[in-house]
Amino acid sequence: MARGWESKSVEQQQESAAFDEGPAKPRLTPAQIATEQRRQTLQLSRRRILQQLGVAPNPRHRQMLEAALADLDEQIKAEH
């Protein structure tokens, strides 16, 4: 009896795992993957520059970071 109960539990777990997966994501083309990676890289660079801006005491360095931030914002805008 205990053995039958275990097998039903495993079967139920497998069924619930199959339902939990949800809808399959559409496959991306290599070009779409490259675009998504570039967008993520730009966003990561933007966050890093914002972090550096928060602690940069030198006005010339801040000016350089602000220019880099503006450039990144333009690139991100162009990606959309």
Average pLDDT over all residues of the chain: 84
pLDDT band with cut points at 50, 70 and 90 for residue 80: confident
Extents of the domains making up the chain? 31-80
Among candidate residues 27, 49, 42, 30, the one with its CA nearest the CA of residue 80: 42
pLDDT band with cut points at 50, 70 and 90 for residue 9: confident
- Average pLDDT value for residue range 40-44: 95
Q: Which residues, at least 6 apart from 21, have a Cβ–Cβ distance to it below 8 Å?
A: none
pLDDT at 66: 95
Give CA angle at 46 (41, 49), nearest 5°: 125
CB 62 within 8 A of CB 53: yes
Residue with tokens 């928060």: 54
pLDDT at 39: 92
Comparison of pLDDT for 20 and 53, the residue scoring more: 53
pLDDT at 19: 63
